[in-house]
Chain A
Amino acid sequence: MSSNAEIERRIGNDYQAGFVTNIESDTLAPGLDEDVVRFISAKKGEPEWLTEWRLKAFRAWQEMVEPDWAHVTYPKPDFQALSYYSAPKSMADKPKSLDEVDPELLATYEKLGIPLHEQMALAGVAVDAVFDSVSVATTFREKLAEAGVIFMPISEAVHEHPELVKKYLGSVVPQRDNFYAALNSAVFSDGSFVYIPKGVRCPMELSTYFRINEAKTGQFERTLIVADEGSHVSYLEGCTAPMRDENQLHAAVVELVAMDNAEIKYSTVQNWYPGDKEGKGGIYNFVTKRAVAHTNAKVSWTQVETGSAVTWKYPSCILKGDNSVGEFYSVALTNNFQQADTGTKMVHLGKNTRSTIISKGISAGKSQNAYRGLVRMNPNAEGARNYTQCDSLLIGDQCGAHTFPYIESKHPSAVVEHEATTSTVSDDQLFLCRQRGIDTEKAVSMIVNGFCKEVFKELPMEFAVEAGKLLEVSLEGSVG
């Protein structure tokens, strides 16, 4: 396999977001007990009910066991060795405007290509920047407020819109949902809160950018998006972390609520530090993402996963209302020693609910890439429809690609279709390209891009370009 050797050579590891920002931080000593939970809650000045809510989650978490059914192996994180809160010191006295924000922080985001100055920002994208445990800045808040859209860090929303937060927090992912969701519920630090009022089409793309900076910390953000009746929102999420030899934990929870006739489009470009070529370091990405779609609502998850040492992530849709629609488009790329177990769950409860799953897995190097999905047609899901396609591409003979689809149907009129294929970049394909004067590197890049096309076209335009580049960089050296 000469072409494979070429591919191997080309998959380098050029992680451009791997720098550390030199900034003083307030970091809580490692360890986790009820006092830590109380400390985080107090630090955020949270009301009593939320402190109790966290403690309830913490107590539940203590009784839970870390799940081991996923097709990944890693040393279990020591939860007592982690720090659960870290914030840049300069954020302690809440800067009133962007001008007061530490320039070092702004420079960090600048370097990552996320300008926070509104005049410089891409028109039409509002950004909430989360740095370790706190939100640094949220742009375009006033402009969004004009439309009635609430877009702010969840820690502020707790104070400003307690009724909304109280009503929806944990309504999609309850505290005891699973091990990591329970942990997150207990110690979640910051994240974004979005509320789109009835009938409003959000005037711009909303976006959150997560950055882990401090060593030996975990990031536990919580995002809650509520789209009220007939509204529409498109939300983007990006993430990076410095290159470090130790594994860092990221356990987030994302809850989406799409009321009747609402539409939520949630896109993720996940580029946490994947570890080095020997598999040292990298982020453990254990995320719970779930959406509830009410009558005629539509929820669409799009994800491009190239980072993280270990990924455990299943963005799901509960299609509760009649005629609701769920979509899942995913490209998951693993290289070197990365491991990913990712997929989706589509639970059809309502009549005529529809779901589409397109999953593209690419494994290179010595990585393991698994798709795990569930399609469930409940006894009331009359006329429900699902189409699933999951394709895997293997590059190199030491990686693995796996598919574990669960299909459960209890209604005769529900139609479920599942297709999966696994193949490699074939010598024939490469030959065809090379014969036409395209060098091996370009040819593989073309083939991989073509393989992912169906998913990329679902991404917002800027992201699609970004994702294409990201894929190219991540694959560098593996594809020939």
Chain B
Amino acid sequence: MAEQFQTQQLALANSVAQLPLLTTLNAQGREAFAEAAMPTRKTEAWKYTSLTALLANEYGAPAVAGSNEQLTAAATINGLDAARLVFVNGQLSNELSDALALQQVTLFSQANDGQQALISEKLNSVLTQAQGSEHLFNDLNNANVNEGVLIHVGKNERLQQPLQISYLTTQNANPFAVTARILLVMETGADATVVEHYGSDEHAQVNFTNALTEILVGDNARLQHYRLNLMQEESLHIGSTHIDLGRDSQYNAFHLALGSRITRSDLVVNHNKGGSHCEISGVYIPQNQQLVDFHTCIEHKVAHCTSNEVFRGIMNDKAKAVFNGRIHIHPQAQKTLAELSNKNLLLTNSAEINTKPELEIYADDVKCAHGATVAQLDEKGLFYLRSRGISKREAEVIMSFGFINELLEALPDEAITNLLRPILAQRFGREQDLALHLLENEAAGIAGENA
């Protein structure tokens, strides 16, 4: 089955119209992908993640999809005044996109000479820094890519609006594959907020998104990055984010995976210059038979960098989650401060969590810590709420929600918090009324305080 998938994906790669700019990369990718072995249960990085569901289908290229109200709704984040780039089934939707008007944003196919030079120089450059954190799906992305988004924020420039890049999927006759590629280059002192968003409407069927985002944060630059995976249940998503941090730069991120048939998300942060800092939080909430797999790797390559990573997960029904958080301190990276925390809630007997916080340290003057916990909702807490007349169900929702609300509240963009809260609340409440009721109560409470 694995070989079949490989051959078929290669055939697909050969069939797409290539961009002259990307032919070398495509060829490299094809070669690497053809040679790579499909991961099995014995492959350490895929130990807990079965790809059977992915390999079971044959994927074609999607037909061009029109837009509908649901898609428009899916592409809209209320209250976020964002410039948008919306792809539907892998094709740019002109109707829903307005970000191309910005001089910082372009597509690979529309790049001018200067931008083409930049793409040639930087594309794939962050990925190649990964020391063992890259995998064959990155090669596949290289093989398949024939379009992508280039964001180039110039020296000391600030993107006035957040930039939202949405990859949406909708109805298609057959299972299809989408290759998403983003290259974000931030020059010295640049500042931006980017929302990377994967979603689908109700009609979406089996589809496989292979996403690869490379980010270069220049000296003194600052990036606020959201990576929201809100795809529907049958989706298969394998995505990687690779980041290169310059001197005194900052990468703040929030990664969310609601869960789908398979969601695999890799995050690799390379601290390449001193004084850089990354602050990453993440939430995963798979339900039913979903699988979420987060692999993060913080590479501290130089001295005087700091990193802080907080991931929380709630597993319901028969869902399964994998979290692998690696901190790698290279011999030169003295005076590093690195922390990682991973907390998990298991709600049912058939849910499963496999977590592995790893430390690999080759420098002595560092402070590193990681912690991981797995538990269920605190009985005393539930009892406390119930003793005050709150039903068991409601108490459970309140406590589950409280578990991740802390991370949501800390997000700098309120619009994102507001987008996610009802979605997440519904996950715990199941009954939408209950969730909304709780949210309303809370809103009323806040209003009351303000008054």
Contact = CB atoms under 8 A, between A and B. Distances in A.
B144 interface: no
Interface string B338-369: 00000010111111111111111111111111
Contacts of B366: 394, 422-424
B365 A424 contact: yes
A1 B351 CA distance: 49
B371 A408 contact: no
Interface in A342-356: none
A405 B346 contact: no
Contacts of B365: 1, 397, 424
Contact of B44 (A69, A400, A419, A420): A69
Interface stretch (B59-67, B79-87, B372-380): B372-380
A402 B353 contact: no
A400 B346 contact: no
B361 A405 contact: no
A416 B342 CA distance: 11
A423 B367 contact: yes
B364 A415 contact: no
Interface string B362-403: 111111111111111000000000000000000000000000
A407 B434 CA distance: 34
Interface in A386-412: 392, 394-412
Contact of A420 (B348, B355, B369): B369
Nearest to B338: A422
B445 interface: no
A237 B363 CA distance: 34
B358 A404 contact: yes
Given A407-B374, A409-B353, A402 B360 contact: yes
A397 B363 contact: yes
A398 B359 contact: no
Which one of A396, A412, A418 has the highest number of Cβ atoms from chain B below 10 Å of its Cβ? A412
Nearest to A406: B356
Interface residues of A, number: 38
B371 A420 contact: yes
A398 B331 contact: yes
Nearest to A390: B359
Contacts of A410: 350-352
A392 B356 CA distance: 17
A352 to B, nearest CB: 15
The 8 residue pairs across chains A and B that have the minimum distance between CB atoms: A394-B364, A412-B346, A403-B359, A412-B376, A416-B374, A422-B368, A409-B374, A418-B372
Given A394-B361, A411-B346, A424-B365, A405 B356 contact: yes
B334 interface: yes
B374 A414 contact: yes
Contacts of A1: 365
29 contacts: A1-B365, A69-B44, A392-B359, A395-B364, A402-B358, A405-B358, A406-B356, A407-B353, A407-B356, A407-B372, A408-B352, A408-B353, A408-B354, A409-B346, A409-B374, A412-B348, A414-B346, A414-B375, A416-B374, A417-B372, A418-B372, A418-B373, A420-B369, A421-B367, A422-B367, A422-B369, A423-B367, A423-B368, A424-B365
A400 B369 contact: no
A51 interface: no
Contacts of A440: none
A4 interface: yes
Contacts, number: 115
Interface-centre pick from B48, B348, B359 (highest chain A CB count, 10 A): B359
Contacts of B346: 409, 411-412, 414
A401 B358 CA distance: 11
Interface of B: 44, 48, 331, 334, 344, 346-376
Given A403-B358, A405-B357, A416 B373 contact: yes
A397 B371 CA distance: 24
Nearest to B47: A406
Nearest to B348: A412
Interface string A58-78: 000000000001010000000
A279 interface: no
B362 A400 contact: yes
A413 interface: yes
Contacts of A416: 372-375
Contacts of B356: 404-407
Contacts of B374: 377, 407, 409, 414-416
B352 A422 contact: no
A405 B349 CA distance: 23
A460 interface: no
Contacts of A421: 367-369
Q: Of A4, A379, A396, A420, which is in contact with the most chain B CB atoms at under 10 Å from its CB?
A: A420
A421 B376 CA distance: 25
Contact of A406 (B344, B352, B354, B360): B354
Contacts of B376: 412-413, 415
A397 B334 contact: yes
A412 B361 CA distance: 33
Contacts of B48: 408
A395 B365 CA distance: 9
B347 A407 contact: no
Given A394-B366, A408-B352, 19 more contacts: A4-B364, A392-B359, A394-B363, A397-B331, A401-B359, A402-B358, A403-B357, A404-B358, A405-B358, A406-B356, A409-B353, A410-B351, A412-B348, A414-B375, A415-B374, A418-B357, A420-B357, A422-B368, A423-B366
A421 to B, nearest CB: 4
Residue of A379, A414, A423 most packed against chain B (CB within 10 A): A423
A398 B332 CA distance: 10
B370 A403 contact: yes
Interface string A417-437: 111111110000000000000
B12 to A, nearest CB: 34
A419 B370 CA distance: 6
A392 B358 CA distance: 13
Contact of A405 (B352, B368, B372): B372
Nearest to B378: A415
Contact of A392 (B348, B349, B351, B361): B361
B369 A419 contact: yes
A400 B353 contact: no
A402 B359 contact: yes
Contacts of A409: 344, 346, 352-354, 374
A404 B47 CA distance: 14
Interface in A285-318: none
A397 B364 contact: yes
A72 B34 CA distance: 31
Contacts of A400: 360-362
Given A398-B331, A407-B354, A409-B346, A415 B375 contact: yes
Interface in A138-196: none
Contacts of B354: 406-409
A175 B237 CA distance: 42
B60 to A, nearest CB: 37
B257 to A, nearest CB: 19
Contacts of A417: 371-373
Contacts of A408: 48, 352-354
Contacts of B373: 415-418
